[in-house]
């Protein structure tokens, strides 16, 4: 299974207590060895400046209007990515990169 940054996947997200998990859509941001760094994808509207409402959600293979929460990152083992949904469009990718560059900074 080949995974690439910019793809939407269904991932098996483990709960912090490790006793259960939930299947959720994610956007792959980058690969790190056997891990992937992903951003949460939700059907909820944006609520912070780091949330990006996707304009081309249907072209990306998502079922409903979706928001990428760049402040909700997970580092997941690649085996937790279950099925590829689609790929982010160029225009949405540009908006995501601009939002990241303008709003994501270390706070220490």
pLDDT (tens digit per residue) in 71-83: 999 999 999 999 9
Q: What's the pTM? A: 0.94
Q: Residue 36: beta bridge partners? A: 31, 76
Q: Provide CB contacts within 8 A for 89, sequence distance 6+.
A: 55, 56, 59, 60
Q: What is the CATH number of domain 7-103?
A: 2.30.30.110
Is residue 64's pLDDT more than 80? yes
Report residue 99 as tokens.
Answer: 């939002």
**pLDDT at residue 18, rounded to an integer:** 73
What's the mean per-residue pLDDT of the chain? 95
pLDDT (tens digit per residue) in 30-60: 999 999 999 999 999 999 999 999 999 999 9
CA geometry: angle 53, 55, 58, nearest 5 deg = 110
């Amino acid at each position: 299974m080949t995974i690439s940054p910019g793809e939407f996947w269904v991932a098996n997200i483990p709960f912090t207590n490790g006793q259960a998990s939930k299947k959720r859509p994610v956007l792959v941001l980058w690969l790190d060895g056997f891990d992937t760094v992903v951003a949460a994808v939700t059907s909820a509207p944006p609520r912070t400046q780091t949330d990006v409402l996707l304009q081309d959600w249907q072209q990306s293979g998502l079922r409903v209007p979706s928001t990428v929460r760049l402040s909700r990152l997970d580092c997941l083992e690649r085996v937790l990515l279950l099925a590829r949904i689609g790929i982010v469009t160029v225009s949405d990718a540009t908006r995501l990169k601009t939002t990241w560059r303008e709003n994501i900074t270390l706070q220490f």
